[in-house]
C-alpha cells in the first residue's frame, strides 16, 4: 500500500461539520454545548453518587461508574472540537490531530461496548446464578473485565490508526463529517482502499460484534431463567433490573450497527451524521437519566450526595 502524501501531513483536513449553512452554526453551537454540559454534569453526578454511597459499591454500579467515565471521555474527544469548528471559519484539523481523534474515539467507544457486555454478564450471574454472584463477580474479576475491555479497545484503535496512516490523500481534504471517522476519511483517499475496507470491516465485526453477541447470549439465558419464575411479580422484578441496560444497549448498538456495518458504496453523509450524533452525543447524555429515573438505589445515592453537598 502507498505511503501517505506529504502534503496531507502538513495541510491536514477540513471538517465540514453538521451543516454548511452559516445561519445554523450558532444555534447548533448552543444546542451541542448544552448537550455536552448535561452529559458531563450528569455522568459526574452518577460517578460521585456511586462512590459516596457504600450500598452502591456492587459489581453493577462499579461497571456503571466506569461506563459514565468512558462516556465523558468519549464525548470529550468529539464535541469540544466540533463546538470550536461551529464558530470557526476554517474548520481545520491537522493530519496528526485527525489520527489522534480517530484513535481515542475508537478506544473509548469500544471500551463502552465492552463495558455494556460486562454489565450484561453481571446481570446474567445475578439472575441465573445468585448464590455464586459474590464469588463470580469478585473485585479481582471486575478489575480483569475492566482492564480487558480497555486493552482490547486500545489495541483495536492503534491497529486502525496505523492502517489509516498508510493511505494517501491527493485531492480533496474536506471530510464530510463533524469528526475524523473511518468511513469519511477512507472516502478521501486516492490509494486503493479495497483491501483496507475488507480489513476494517472484518476487524470491526470481530471487535464490535463480540461484545454484542455476549449481550445477546446473556439476555437469552436471562429470559429463559425469568420465564421459569412462577409468579408474575417475580418475573417483573427480575426484568426490571435489566430495563435500563437494555435501553442503553438498543440506543448504542442500533446506531453503531447502522453506521459501520455497510459497504463504503452505501455510505450516506446525512444519515450517517444523524446516526453518529445518536451514539456519540445523545446516548452518553441520556445514560445518567436512563440509569437513575427508575432506579431506587441510584435515586437514594443521588439524594445522599445532594445532602452531603448542602452540608458542606
Average pLDDT over residues 94-100: 92
Average pLDDT over residues 63-91: 93
Give the whole-angstrom CA distance, residue 14 versus residue 169: 13
Please give the C-alpha separations between residue 171 and each of 11, 13, 175, 189, 297, in angstroms, as whole numbers.
Answer: 12, 11, 12, 8, 56
| Partner residues linked to 176 by β-bridges | none
Asked whether residue 311 carries a pLDDT value surpassing 50, the answer given is yes
Cα angle 255, 117, 158; round to 5:
75
Average pLDDT over residues 222-228: 88
Asked whether residue 79 carries a pLDDT value surpassing 60, the answer given is yes
Question: Could you tell me the residue ranges of all domains in the chain?
Answer: 21-311
Alpha helix (H) residue ranges in 129-231: 133-136, 139-164, 182-188, 194-204, 210-227
Whole-number pLDDT of residue 208: 81
Give the whole-angstrom CA distance, residue 92 versus residue 11: 9
Per-residue pLDDT of 169-201, as tens digits, reads 776 788 888 999 887 888 887 776 677 777 777
Please give the C-alpha separations between residue 223 and each of 11, 76, 98, in angstroms, as whole numbers.
Answer: 54, 36, 43
In this structure, whether the domain defined by 21-311 belongs to CATH 1.20.1070.10 is answered with yes
Q: Is the dihedral of CA 108, 113, 116, 122 positive or negative?
A: negative
- The cell numbers describing 236, all together, are 417483573
DSSP 170-186: -S--EESSSS--HHHHH
Please give the C-alpha separations between residue 22 and each of 18, 27, 35, 104, 129, in angstroms, as whole numbers.
Answer: 11, 10, 21, 29, 57
Higher per-residue pLDDT: 24 or 202? 24
136 burial type by CB count under 10 A (0-12 exposed, 13-18 middle, 19+ buried): middle
Amino acid at each position: 500500500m502507498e505511503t501517505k502524501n506529504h502534503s496531507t501531513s502538513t495541510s491536514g483536513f477540513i471538517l465540514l461539520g453538521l451543516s454548511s449553512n452559516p445561519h445554523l452554526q450558532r444555534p447548533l453551537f448552543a444546542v451541542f454545548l448544552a448537550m455536552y454540559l448535561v452529559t458531563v454534569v450528569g455522568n459526574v453526578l452518577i460517578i460521585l453518587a456511586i462512590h459516596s454511597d457504600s450500598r452502591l459499591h456492587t459489581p453493577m454500579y462499579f461497571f456503571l461508574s466506569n461506563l459514565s467515565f468512558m462516556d465523558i471521555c468519549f464525548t470529550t474527544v468529539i464535541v469540544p472540537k466540533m463546538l470550536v469548528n461551529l464558530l470557526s471559519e476554517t474548520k481545520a484539523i491537522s493530519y496528526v490531530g485527525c489520527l489522534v481523534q480517530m484513535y481515542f474515539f475508537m478506544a473509548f467507544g469500544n471500551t463502552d461496548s465492552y463495558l455494556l457486555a460486562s454489565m450484561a454478564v453481571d446481570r446474567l450471574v445475578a439472575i441465573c446464578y445468585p448464590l455464586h454472584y459474590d464469588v463470580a463477580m469478585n473485585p479481582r474479576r471486575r478489575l480483569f473485565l475492566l482492564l480487558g475491555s480497555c486493552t482490547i479497545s486500545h489495541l483495536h484503535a492503534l491497529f486502525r490508526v496505523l492502517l489509516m496512516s498508510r493511505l494517501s490523500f491527493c485531492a480533496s481534504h474536506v471530510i464530510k463529517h463533524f469528526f475524523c471517522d473511518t468511513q469519511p476519511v477512507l472516502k478521501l483517499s486516492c490509494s486503493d482502499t479495497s483491501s483496507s475496507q475488507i480489513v476494517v470491516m472484518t476487524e470491526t465485526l470481530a471487535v464490535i460484534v463480540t461484545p454484542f453477541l455476549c449481550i445477546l447470549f446473556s439476555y437469552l439465558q436471562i429470559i429463559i431463567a425469568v420465564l421459569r419464575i412462577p409468579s408474575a411479580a417475580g418475573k417483573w422484578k427480575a426484568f426490571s433490573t435489566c430495563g435500563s441496560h437494555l435501553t442503553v444497549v438498543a440506543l448504542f448498538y442500533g446506531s453503531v450497527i447502522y453506521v459501520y456495518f455497510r459497504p463504503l458504496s452505501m455510505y450516506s453523509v446525512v444519515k450517517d451524521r444523524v446516526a453518529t450524533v445518536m451514539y456519540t452525543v445523545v446516548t452518553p447524555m441520556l445514560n445518567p437519566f436512563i440509569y437513575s429515573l427508575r432506579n431506587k438505589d441510584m435515586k437514594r445515592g443521588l439524594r445522599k450526595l445532594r445532602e452531603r453537598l448542602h452540608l458542606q
